A and B are shown apart, each in its own frame.
Chain A
Amino acid sequence: MNEQSRKNAIGSRYLSFILDDEEYCIEIQQVREIKALPEITPVPQTPEYIRGVINLRGKIIPIVDLRMRFGFPHKEYNARTSVIIVEYEYEKDITLIGLIVDVTNEVLYLDQENINSVPYINEKINEDFIDGMTNIGERVIIKLNIHSILSATEMKALHSTANEEA
């Protein structure tokens, strides 16, 4: 493989996972680790989909239930439920956040060209959350934009609703 194609290969590796029987993926570069679901300590005054915090080797990090974030009904956690620990930038700091998914799948290599724009899914899944869609054989995989899902404005806007409901 020459330099350019190797670069492309690295840039286009994704971790795929399942949410409510749909397959999604995110760029592998942002993924720190994958864990089985540990004990969650709930945090008050946060939206429903922020389940609380967990202890990751001495670091306290927030946990987001992606199903609930996307408006799907809450499903009981079982032995297959996983947490994907993701790195992202929040106010110039690199922070960690955990995403609860039904089950993690595999690492995929996707070509940039195959990612097409996506039709409307539901009103909870903001257009910004989705970078595109691709096919592998029969499978349809939706590429998520982690950054917008976790962006500050989203958090702030939702926290004020949480406070009003409280």
Chain B
Amino acid sequence: MGNGVPIKRLDDLALSFNNCLDGDMVQALNIQEAIEEIYPITETSIEGNCLAMLHVILDYVFDGYNLEDMMEEVNQLFEILIYLNDNELSDPIISDEKAVIATLSKKHTDFPEKLDDYISKLEKGTDAKEAELKVPEINKPDFIDDLDSHLENETFHIFMNDTLERLLQIEELVLRLEGNETPDPEDLNHIFRIFHTIKGEAGFFGAKELMNFAHEIESNLDGLRKKHTGIDKHLSDELFDAKDIIETYIHLLQDREIEKLRNYCFTEDCVKLAKLNNPESHDDTVPNIEESETTESEYVEETEDIDADKTPLTGNADKQTVTNRATRGKPKKDEFIRVRASHIAELNDRIQELWITENQLEGEFLRDVKKITKEVQYLAMKLRTGSLRKLEPRLQRIVRDVGYKTNRDVQLSFVGEDIEVDRNLIEALEEPLLHIVRNSIDHGIEDPAERERQGKPKTGSITISSSRKGSRIQLTIKDDGRGLQVSKIKARALERGIITKEIADKMNKEEAFQLIFEPGFSTASQVSDLSGRGVGMDVVRDMAEQNNGRILIESEEGKHSTIHFSFPLNTAILEGMVVQYDANHFVIPVNEVVECIEVTSKIMRSVKHELPVINLRDKFIPVLRIGDLFGEKVEKAMRRSAVILNSHNKMYALLVDKIIQKNEVAIKPLSKQFRHIRGLSSATIFSGGKIGFVIDTEELIRASLTKARIKQEEA
């Protein structure tokens, strides 16, 4: 620390700003150019950000705003840059920077976005990341040739359906933007992202033409969205056409119309023809279907003609195909429909209530009813969940692209049960997982030559596994690369001013790993080419926290790096032991319960300064207290029962007042405000409306052990 931007250059810049103030606009151009030059030599992201902000301020000046109105912020930015020249990064400086951003955002609502966009542009210039990869000519079998095998792939169907859904979204967005005087820039960004996603996924399956088409549109939009204009009719027409073209193409894929696919043209001349081909089109020029009288054999001849022609399909042949498609009796595909997520959520809530209330009722008569309701409950739950494998195409694409760029051979595989996970969680996991995989290949997996030297297989491997443990979902991403080097991490953190030398020396391996999550740890704002927003390990941790999840890093130098995620089940039916403690009910996942016992003073043992234990058939088992969750220092009452738990092959005794019964409960997530609570993973509503909490056994154990350790240290 202590180098950063040379003082001389800062002085020059400051002088130039003053000249601008006097009205010299040429100076403004010089400043911007200078900033682009200086940016690569900045050492911390804060310096880079300050420079970027100065640049954006000048953009506003070019747009006609008064520099004077922003001079205060300009001065503050220079103060920060000058300070960083001599000093280490510190919290006050970071808040100063944030304060400037806040003030500027108040003055210009689009400031944060302009800033992100500009930084993204700078990053692309300074760091050849895989932002816009040139897609290499790979000897892949022709996509259409391979269509049959693609159609057997579940993920391909998901891709097609997702694309159709996304195209519908485009329609909505374009309609909203069209002619709107105050367009929401996010909408245009959204459209851009959709084409970007279609491009990526098409690429994964080798659908080159579709990919290139999407890429063209995406590029056109990229320029536009930065200008923050709305869209005029010309552009909206183009976007609608693009949507139609892709939509028709997907339908052809689904219907396996090989010939038509071979001749499909993605240029605009064919748009009208695309409308003709599409039987759902309301275009008046569509020939009347009923009038056709041709038979199947005639159709076959027609297609051969077209084949020789290799021109876009003309009207006549259509007539036949449309009819025959209807009469050929194609197998019914399992359709997807779009519904509002909130409707599903409400439906789920009602079904849960129904099921909960019903459980309370007794009687043989009700047995069948209960059975049906339970099945309905499971089906409702499935509406809210999806499979993690859905992310596979995008992940595989990253593996391929980054692997190619770095000349490393990497294989990504999914192992373990394909568990159902809340859809929101899957969405939240997408960017972080992409980031982690990208990192693994970029920084983790070694070159083939080096791997060979180490006796590792030439092909690196990344394994993603998922499983359900108790009331939580475990997700693990492991690469067999060079692992995390503690010394390097500490050095980087020191350099970035995140820790001091004393702290670094005292840190153990696990604590050092945690440093990766500090914002500012990674090289100057890493920016995702997709949203223009930063994606770093700090963002990954934020995502985990926002979903009430936990992250743990494990690594062995030279062998592997593993990231463990653990999320509470949001949507599920859990089998649990319901217990009573004071006036509250708690639930313990049944797969952690070994047995339930009565507690008498005879079996309770207390060893001085240690955790109290229970003597269970001559084995001493540590005692856990629910009171620890509430911060109760002393047990309020004698607890008469205990649930014996097994966690990671160790036994514990959880003291409760009463063991009520084993029950199936429907889980509700805890509100976001309670995300910080340690020891409870989710909530549930019992029949009668009473609220109970599901205990997170691991956390409870950790809390009790920490408390015991503190007691010992105090003693």
Instruction: Answer whether residue B408 sits at the interface, using C-beta atoms and an 8 A cutoff.
Output: no
Give every chain A residue within 8 A of B673 (Cβ-Cβ). Answer: 50, 62, 90, 95, 97, 155
- Neighbouring B residues of A58 by C-beta, 8 Å: 349-350, 352-353, 685
B546 lies within 8 A of A46 (CB)? no
Interface readout for B677-689 with A: 1 if CB under 8 Å, 0 if not? 1111001010001
Contact digits for B648-684, partner A, Cβ 8 Å, 1 yes 0 no? 0000000000000000000010111110111110010
| Residues 143-166 (chain A) with a chain B CB within 8 angstroms | 155-156, 159, 163, 165-166
Nearest-Cβ distance from residue B142 to partner chain A, whole angstroms? 44
By secondary structure, the B interface counts as mixed
The answer to whether B672 touches A90, judged by C-beta atoms less than 8 angstroms apart, is yes
Task: Point out the residues of chain A lying under 8 angstroms from B546, CB to CB.
Answer: 91
Query: With A55-B685, A90-B673, A91-B546 as given contacts, are A45 and B631 in contact (CB-CB < 8 Å)?
Result: yes
Asked whether A3 is an interface residue with its Cβ less than 8 Å from the other chain, the reply is no
Per-position contact with A for B141-176: 1 when CB-CB < 8 Å, else 0? 000000000000000000000000000000000000
Interface residues of A (CB under 8 A from B): 39, 41-46, 50, 53-55, 57-62, 90-91, 93, 95, 97, 155-156, 159, 163, 165-166
Chain B interfacial residues counted at CB < 8 A: 27
Near A by CB (< 8 A), chain B positions 670-711 give 670-674, 676-680, 683, 685, 689-693
**A95, B349: Cβ atoms under 8 Å?**
no
Residues of A within 8 A of B677 (CB): 43-46
Complex CA distance for A54 and B689, rounded to whole angstroms? 9
Report the bound CA distance from A62 to B690 in whole Å: 14
User: Which residue of A has the minimal Cβ distance to B680?
Assistant: A44
Within 8 Å by CB of A46, from B674, B689, B691, B693, lies B674
On whether the beta carbons of B349 and A59 are closer than 8 Å, the reply is yes
With a cutoff of 8 Å between Cβ atoms, the chain B residues found around residue A93 in the complex are 672
Are A41 and B691 also in contact (CB < 8 A) when A53-B683, A165-B631 are? yes
A45-B683 contact, Cβ under 8 Å, with A60-B691, A61-B671, A91-B546: no
Residues of A within 8 A of B685 (CB): 55, 58, 60
Partner of B689, one of A55, A62, A95, A97: A55
28 CB contacts below 8 A, A to B, read A41-B690, A41-B692, A43-B680, A44-B629, A44-B630, A44-B677, A44-B680, A45-B630, A45-B631, A45-B676, A45-B677, A45-B678, A45-B679, A53-B671, A53-B683, A55-B689, A55-B691, A57-B349, A57-B353, A58-B349, A58-B685, A60-B668, A60-B671, A62-B671, A62-B673, A91-B546, A97-B673, A159-B676
Q: Which residues of A contact B352 (CB under 8 A)?
A: 58
Residues on B lying within 8 angstroms of A by beta carbon are 349-350, 352-353, 546, 584, 629-631, 668, 670-674, 676-680, 683, 685, 689-693
Q: Which of B349, B350, B691 contacts A53 (CB 8 A)?
A: B691
Q: Within the assembled complex, what's the spacing in Å between the Cα atoms of A9 and B691?
A: 40
Chain A residues near B670 (CB-CB < 8 A): 60
Taking the nearest CB of chain A, how far is it from the CB of B569, in angstroms? Answer: 15
Given contacts A55-B689, A58-B353, contact A41 B584 (CB under 8 A): yes
* Residue of B353, B631, B690, B692 touching A39 (CB-CB under 8 A): B690
Pick the contact of B679 from A44, A46, A57, A62 — CB < 8 Å? A44
* Cross-chain pair count, CB within 8 angstroms: 70
CA gap between A103 and B271 in the complex, in Å: 65
Query: Which chain A positions have C-beta within 8 A of B672?
Result: 90-91, 93, 95
Q: Which residue of chain A lies nearest to B684 when distances are taken between CB atoms in the complex?
A: A60
| Bound form: Cα–Cα A163–B680 in Å | 15
Q: Which residues in A have their C-beta under 8 angstroms from that of B692?
A: 41
Q: How far is the CB of B127 from chain A (nearest CB, A)?
A: 30
Complexed CA–CA distance, A50 and B683 (Å): 17
User: In the assembled complex, which residues on chain B have CB atoms less than 8 Å from the CB atom of A159?
Assistant: 676
Residues of A within 8 A of B693 (CB): 43
The complex places the Cα of A90 from the Cα of B49 at a distance, in Å, of: 27
Given A44-B630, A53-B683, 20 extra CB contacts under 8 A: A41-B584, A41-B691, A42-B630, A43-B677, A44-B629, A45-B676, A45-B677, A50-B673, A54-B691, A55-B685, A57-B349, A58-B352, A59-B349, A60-B683, A60-B685, A60-B691, A97-B673, A155-B673, A156-B676, A159-B676
How far apart are B639's CB and chain A's nearest CB, in angstroms? 17
Name the distance in Å between B59's Cβ and chain A's nearest Cβ: 27
> Considering the chains assembled together, what is the distance between the CA atoms of A144 and B353 in angstroms?
35
**Chain B residue nearest to A150 in the complex (CB):** B673
How near does chain B come to A85, taking the closest CB pair, in angstroms? 13
Q: Which 3 A-B pairs have the closest CB atoms?
A: A166-B631, A41-B691, A44-B629
- The chain B residue with its CB closest to the CB of A43 is B674
Give chain A nearest CB distance to B699 CB in angstroms. 11
- Nearest B residue to A41 via CB reads B691
Instruction: For the complex formed, measure the closest distance between the CB of A90 and the CB atoms of chain B, giving whole angstroms.
Output: 6
Contacts of B689 in A (CB 8 A): 39, 55
A97 to B673, CA, bound (A): 10
Residue with the greatest number of chain B CB neighbours at <10 A, chosen from A44, A55, A57, A61: A44
Chain A: minimal CB distance from B660 (Å): 16
Q: Which of A41, A155, A156 has the most CB of B within 10 A?
A: A41
Q: Please name the residue on chain B nearest to A163 by beta carbon.
A: B676
Which of B350, B671, B689, B692 has the most A CB atoms < 10 Å from its CB? B671
CA gap between A36 and B509 in the complex, in Å: 54
Contacts of A165 in B (CB 8 A): 631
Q: Closest Cβ of chain B: how far from A143's Cβ, in Å?
A: 23
Set A39, A54, A62: member contacting B674, Cβ < 8 A:
A62
